[in-house]
Chains A and B, each alone.
Chain A
């Protein structure tokens, strides 16, 4: 640090850091302390932090029929949705870039699902997939010749939610990967063409090394969005049929705010979910870091 810069830094009063510190304390530290404290105490919606219960809430959470399954469903949902959205979004971005020019009107139209409020997305798909009179279910039924109700079956409901989620979040991948593709040097592409490289070879040898960190970052982002999914489940299936679409965040909501009012167990569930989110995202984050190092 140069003397001038150091002097400039010294001139900035330290109290100016107070507002962000207060904001962090209010928005991050306080809720975190509360969740940790609630998870180790008997805490209901009406009476927080009544008495120390050790790991009783954690045990209770893991013994809950819905929660154990919801953790598996959450990971399955997030991983499958993130992978499908990333692959699909990357492919669309490559096609948009291949036709030349900018993002264009077509690209903007593709972004519409992304800017639609999640609740509206849920309501729209719920109507489209209504078992009686739903536009999409009626079409599918007439095509297959028997009544179709993908949200009404335990075996297809979660997969249907994955597809709706992919529909909404793929445009984000398109947007970010398309931006990364603009950074692929034209001279490299021309050199590859002069060397007689085909489309696949050009992609793997020239394009991919440049966009890989972005694609993996987007995968990471999609994974986080998928692990946190709540609104789609709440609006479209409310966790049903049975418990087949109850994901962890929805189960935390049910336990803490609907019926049980057992905030202690809900807090313990939140910690377990946080742990799983950490483990899953750490893997993708490591991949992304490796790709970034390779590009450098």
Chain B
């Protein structure tokens, strides 16, 4: 190794180095100053909490809709309802325009928060998940419509189904929207497959297992006893778990809002998902809407617990090979519980964005789109993805004719005491935490008790 002694710097070099150092210091100062200035400005990008309130309309609220152009951010599966059904009606009735933007269901709440908090403010009306309501209100994304709704008797708020009205729209005694899609689950079955394999529609989860097993084993890979939706998102695996939880008599939280995920009912519900896996359309963790609906409608899956509007699609020859060949029963029960109970699985409300520049027109649209005439139109149309939100629609002969033979089962579920998901600000995170743990159990990475204990801890931490 050779050592080279570095010559001493000259005075000019030292001066140059000092100058360089000063320049560097100046640059660093400017950068840090910029950063310091940027942080408060970044913070100014959004300040959530506490939305605006809209006063009761003076005069005819629908007058605000004449010639209006409204921008709507909607759940992707609802695009037919807005674009093909509501938009033409809106144009005809008010000479107005609806500009519909469809968002995938797993990004809907975050996009709505970002539209307001990011400063874009592009939309007037949000088609929102009810279990994301707390997060949207916390973000200041929804206008408080309490006075507006209270001041307009033509909205006929008493006609909204009591089981969904408050839970879909109310946070801390304030109302932020109106129910749009009263989503519950029922159990559909393929009549000819059950007959072919000598099975009866199940009333308990144990019977459901037996039917699924009998058909899958005899089906030899051509048909499966059940399609179990298990993709790892709240809208899918969360619904499948909650269906069973309701059937076993459990809840997600108690009356004080404390999580109840380690109860016997919760354990039985998850154990049931595990037990049915070998006899379900492979493989539940990979099965989402498309795979499950397709398998049922094509006649390769004998049972599916899903949304009530599937019956309308099942009777559409363009989409279905089982037209008039399906039946429906309430979700099965299990354990000590003998009373069927459905669950409010990912329903939707319509609300007004706080960033909207035409909030009165947006609120009038929300009232118009959720009224009984519109709800009957949408709930009776196969492919709209919309279910009843009003008692009058549920009782109407038109809806009964369209949804037969599922009408009575749907009505019983919605008129009863369906199990709701939490709607507080932490609800989206909590449901994702729960679904992660359920998926770990289903993948065989951990047992039922560990999964539910971890989910319970996560929910308690986020309380």
- Shortest beta-carbon distance, A86 to chain B, in Å? 31
Contact present for A46 and B113 (CB under 8 Å): yes
Asked whether A132 lies within 8 Å of B285 as measured between CB atoms, the reply is no
Answer whether A49 and B39 are a contact pair too, CB < 8 Å, given A242-B442, A243-B440, A243-B445: yes
Query: Which residues of A pack against B, CB within 8 Å?
Result: 29-30, 33-34, 36-37, 44-50, 65-66, 130-132, 147, 149, 151-152, 154, 238-244, 254, 257-262
A152 lies within 8 A of B286 (CB): yes
Q: Measured between alpha carbons, how far is A254 from B135 in the docked complex, in Å?
A: 16
| Contact call A240/B428, Cβ cutoff below 8 A | no
Residues of B within 8 A of A30 (CB): 38
- Residue from A49, A66, A131, A261 in contact with B436 in the complex, judged by beta carbons closer than 8 Å: A66
Docked Cα-Cα span, A65 to B454, in Å, equals 10
Write out the residue numbers on chain B whose beta carbons fall within 8 Å of the beta carbon of A36: 35
* Cβ–Cβ contact A147 & B282, under 8 A: yes
* A152-B283 in contact (CB<8A): yes
Given contacts A37-B39, A45-B117, A47-B47, contact A242 B440 (CB under 8 A): yes
Number of residues in B with C-beta < 8 Å to the partner?
Answer: 51
Instruction: Return the chain A residue nearest B227 by Cβ.
Output: A132
Q: Is there contact, CB below 8 Å, between A131 and B282?
A: yes
B444: Cβ under 8 A from any A Cβ: yes
Interface of B is mostly: helix
Some 11 contacts from A to B, beta carbons below 8 A apart, are: A33-B35, A48-B42, A130-B286, A152-B282, A152-B283, A242-B445, A243-B439, A254-B432, A257-B110, A258-B233, A261-B135
The 10 closest A-B CB pairs, nearest first, are A259-B432, A46-B139, A242-B443, A46-B48, A241-B443, A131-B282, A49-B43, A152-B283, A47-B48, A242-B440
Kindly state whether residue B138 has any CB partner on chain A within 8 Å: yes
Contact with A along B359-382 (1 / 0, CB 8 A): 000000000000000000000000
Q: Which of B418-440 contact A (CB under 8 A)?
A: 428-429, 431-433, 436, 439-440
Contacts of A29 in B (CB 8 A): 31, 34
Whether a CB of chain A sits under 8 angstroms from the CB of B306 is: no
Contact residues of B between 92 and 151, Cβ < 8 Å to A:
106-107, 110, 113-114, 117, 135, 138-141
A132 with B432: CB separation less than 8 A: no
Contact of B39 among A33, A151, A240, A257 (CB under 8 A): A33
Nearest chain A CB to B245 CB, angstrom units: 19
Between B47, B286, B445, the greatest number of chain A beta carbons within 10 A of the residue's beta carbon is seen for B286
Q: Does B310 contact A (CB under 8 A)?
A: no
**CB-CB under 8 A for A45 and B110, given A240-B285, A258-B432, A259-B428:** yes
Least CB distance, A33 to chain B, in whole angstroms: 5
